[in-house]
Amino acid sequence: MDAGLITSMLFATVVAGTPLIIVALGLLVSEKAGVLNLGAEGMMAMGAVAAFAVTHHSGSAWLGVLAGMGAGMAMALIFGVLTLSLLANQVASGLALAIFGVGLAAFVGKPYEAVALQTVPPIRIPFIADLPIVGEALYNQQALVYFSWALFWGLLWFLYRSRAGLVLRAVGESPSSAHAIGYAVIRIRYLAVLFGGAMAGISGAFLSVFYTPMWAEGMVAGRGWIALALVVFATWRPLRVMMGAYLFGGVMITQLFIQGSGLQIDFPSQLLSSLPYWATIVVLVIISRNANTIRLNSPLSLGKPYRPDA
């Protein structure tokens, strides 16, 4: 295997894992605050179609990203009103949001199915990008790839090194205790849910504007559900979330290279296409095989409604 092929596969793996990192880290913040939002697939779909439409009409990819972020936040706000203000069941509301978002995105995106956008040029970091193999693969990337890395480090600092992160985790562990010492639990949870929606929208925008600059119904392709699984099986740890996302991206790119190489393999193409999902789930299950680890790291109030005056 020559260096050029390794560079190409590494480059493609990073790109394929980026949308998962962004949406999964957003969901991690929401769940750390005690809110379980299963609507990631719908928020990503709405973010993707909104970003594509605005980019198509305005000619600006960054306006498209902002539109995708706004669409994701709007969907998250609906979920927040239902579950935080009206105390609806979080699981049922999240599932409904996912179905509603995917369906609405398909309807809104119908006029754009035959439209293609111009490819957004990557940002090359001087000198570092000249390193062999890793330079071209890691430092000649789209801006949102660098954003995902900054998001990871920023979130790591926020959750474990800042007072605000400590408060967020306290709200997820014991909202009644946090409320008793004066913290606005519902407001903090709203902010966490909106942040998760914003990240899902940006992730969807990456898919439709940067990754494959086109709109197609079903282009999210289950990434929202994979992101939800990543957060749980990674035991709510940002580093494991990132590793799982790149694992998914790596296996997906590998099976695409195998299918495109013309190798004669006695495997149905559908089975090869499912390999990324199987590999991600199997590895993360192995990592988190100790059920006590998940219980110890899971926010104690995850998925439980809270009424401040109760």
Domains with residue ranges and CATH for the chain: 3-117+124-297 (1.10.3470)
pTM: 0.93
Predicted pLDDT at 267: 65
User: Picking from 75-89, 93-107, 170-184, 248-262, which range would have the lowest pLDDT averaged per residue?
Assistant: 248-262
Per-residue pLDDT, 188: 97
For residues 80 and 57, give the distance between their C-alpha atoms in angstroms, rounded to a whole number. Answer: 30
Residue 3 has pLDDT above 90, yes or no: no
pLDDT, residue 250, reads 86
Q: What is the pLDDT of residue 253?
A: 84
* Whether pLDDT at 162 is above 90: yes
pLDDT at 5: 79
Q: Model confidence at 266, in pLDDT bands (50, 70, 90)?
A: low
Per the CB < 8 A criterion, the answer to whether 224 and 98 are in contact is yes
Interval 180-202: pLDDT, tens: 999 999 999 999 999 999 999 99
Three-state SS for the chain is: CCHHHHHHHHHHHHHHHHHHHHHHHHHHHHHHCCCCCCCHHHHHHHHHHHHHHHHHHHCCHHHHHHHHHHHHHHHHHHHHHHHHHCCCCHHHHHHHHHHHHHHHHHHHCHHHCCCECCCCCCEECCCHHHCCCHHHHHCEECHHHHHHHHHHHHHHHHHHHCHHHHHHHHHHHCHHHHHHCCCCHHHHHHHHHHHHHHHHHHHHHHHHHHHCCECCCCCCCCHHHHHHHHHHHCCCCHHHHHHHHHHHHHHHHHHHHHHHHCCCCCCCHHHHHHHHHHHHHHHHHHHCCCHHHHHHHCCCCCCCCCCCCC
Inter-residue contact 5 to 136 (CB < 8 Å): no
User: Phi and psi for 140 in degrees, rounded to 5?
Assistant: -135, 60
Model pLDDT, residue 1: 55
Among 257, 230, 225, 235, which residue's Cα sits nearest to residue 246? Answer: 230
